[in-house]
Chain A
Amino acid sequence: MSNENLLEIIRESIVKVDRETAVQTVESALAQGLQAIEVIEKGLSPGMQKVGDLFERGELFLPQVMMAAGLMTQIVQSLQDKMSPEQTTKKNGVVIIGTVEGDVHDIGKNIVKILLSVNGFEVHDLGRDALLSRFVEKAKEFNANIVASSALMTGTMQAQGDLETLLKEAGIRDRVKTMVGGAPCTQYWADKIGANAYAENASEAVTKARELMAAQ
């Protein structure tokens, strides 16, 4: 079987949360000479990306998303000893994420967190109704590259603008990138408050985060 066929099976086994097939095919891929990092970047990650896409179309549901993320995490951990020290410590970036204060809606934010995590980002989740000061504290503590905030209501999205101000006042706005998301947010809103990126959905959040890191 070709490498591409094996990677396709890995991708589909993540979507179907088929643990047995996923584990066996990863082993076959490694035996056939594929590098562990290739298995992750070309098999597992795109599979998880597809899971996110299907969730956003109403074709997969939260339990499957969580199980797929769990399966991918386990396989990635099992591949650690097959990667070089540079590869195992390689991070795509450090992200502080949370739903802003006053807002308890976090389903979408949690999906973003999962997709960023399985795509190689180190994600620190502040949860929901997170004080803006905590975004700043954690950004400093973890030397974050990206601060991502979610808001689901017009009444709470203003906090995303306030966060921009707080990051400036803390003197770290120039060394972090900011991302905003949530139902009422738009590119127009991101531009208005000075955020670096807006993502329409979880899959796009990963793309945007990668673009922000590439631009740093």
Chain B
Amino acid sequence: MAYKERMGDGRLVEMSKEEMIRDIEAGCNDAAERGKISALSEDAQERLLDIMISPERVASVEPENTVVFSTDNGCHSLYGNFSEAGGVGLPIHSVTANMLMERALGFDSVFYGWLDFCFKAAKAVITQHQQELESILMNTVSPCIYGAMPNLGGYYKPDGPFENVGDLMAEGKILEGMEVYERLVDHAKEDIVWVSEQLTRVGVDCINIDTTGAAGDGDFLSSLKACEELKKQTGLSIEMGMASEFVMGIHGGLEYDGNVLAGMYPHKQVKMAEKAGVDIFGPVVNTNTRQSTPWNIARAITFTKECSRVANIPLHPNMGMGVGGLPMAEMPPLDAVTKASKAMVELAGVDGI
């Protein structure tokens, strides 16, 4: 018998049960080998197979297993246009969009952040952000999350004061590049803290320091330092979402709490986040577009389950385009999204999505 499944790029394929068993095992083993963690047990792999072979269009969990959603996009899905922001391009304002998300679609949190999604750039429009955020807060009940990313790349010339670290290293100026990169960290941290403080003044419920680590280990370090400072100064709730499954080593030697950040996988990242005072951690597991969805979901569950096992704070894994086992497609297919989400809840034990 053949089952309809997806490839990591979203294409529909037919797979036999045996092929799916093989892919689930291989996906688990790949995560175990890379993360130096345990693979899923045979029971868990069998349960995942049950989820994957279900012919239903939408998979779900039993009522007592439902989890909350936090969002790093939310209203953008409604008013952002399709290719630029992964949205459906409705001509509506962020306040209306958030009211729809909450009242019509039942989202557990509402969201604000501008489409360009960068703390540094937000400094220039902070008053507008305060105005819009206040309007959202006045018209919604659910917790309101403000999200942006550290985006260390925004500090390079011509947008910032620093030489591009990649260019310096490519010219053989390795140490100079590393020194410049170290200096970037505190600049980004200051901007995250300043923007967050300004939004605290109008009552934001939570800051999502998102897509953390996109520009490497310094990016992650700036987020951790910012979180630490914000916690001390404001007590603000903080969610931290990662950019990829491991912290890319642009410097390689940057440390937090005595730990080298570069090369960390989710189960180690979450311990750094805890130390910094993060309230909700959003691990990422990347999708391999050449592998099947059973392979990718098995891999994502293996990484996330270990992260969940060691975490003392709630986990809301990133489940979207090209992460969390989902296909790399602008609109990830519903079957893959719901099967992966069900597996995350039932097998990886996550607290939210």
Q: Which of A's residues lie within 8 Å of B, judged by CB?
A: 55, 57-64, 66-67, 70, 104-107, 110, 154-155, 158, 183-184, 186-189, 200
Contact = CB atoms under 8 A, between A and B. Distances in A.
A107 B169 contact: no
Interface string B4-20: 00001111000000000
A63 to B, nearest CB: 5
B83 interface: yes
A63 B251 contact: yes
B275 interface: no
Given A58-B249, A58-B262, A61-B249, A110 B84 contact: no
A187 B172 contact: no
B181 to A, nearest CB: 9
Interface in B75-107: 83-86
B303 interface: no
Interface residues of B, number: 38
A169 to B, nearest CB: 23
A67 B172 CA distance: 8
B246 A58 contact: yes
B290 A61 contact: no
Determine chain B's interface SS by DSSP, over half rule.
loop
26 contacts: A58-B246, A58-B249, A59-B263, A60-B249, A61-B217, A61-B249, A62-B166, A62-B169, A62-B249, A63-B174, A63-B249, A63-B251, A66-B169, A66-B174, A104-B153, A105-B153, A107-B166, A107-B216, A154-B84, A155-B84, A184-B322, A186-B8, A186-B289, A188-B9, A188-B10, A188-B289
A104 B251 CA distance: 19
B289 A187 contact: yes
Contacts of B84: 154-155
A158 B252 contact: no
B265 interface: yes
Nearest to A70: B172
Nearest to B260: A61
A104 B214 CA distance: 13
A58 B265 CA distance: 9
B124 interface: no
Interface in B159-180: 166, 169-170, 172, 174, 177-178
Contacts of A58: 34, 246-249, 262-265
B86 A61 contact: no
Contact of B170 (A61, A64, A110): A110
Interface of B: 8-11, 34, 83-86, 153, 166, 169-170, 172, 174, 177-178, 216-217, 246-252, 262-265, 288-290, 321-322, 328-330
A62 B172 contact: no
Contact of A107 (B34, B250, B330): B250
Given A61-B251, A188-B10, A189-B9, 11 more contacts: A57-B34, A58-B248, A61-B262, A63-B178, A67-B174, A107-B216, A184-B321, A184-B328, A188-B289, A200-B288, A200-B289
B250 A61 contact: yes
Contacts of A63: 169, 174, 177-178, 249, 251-252
A189 to B, nearest CB: 8
Contacts of B288: 200
A81 B165 CA distance: 34
Contacts of B170: 66, 110
A52 to B, nearest CB: 13
A63 B251 CA distance: 7
A66 B166 CA distance: 9
A197 to B, nearest CB: 13
Nearest to A67: B174
A66 B288 CA distance: 26
B129 to A, nearest CB: 22
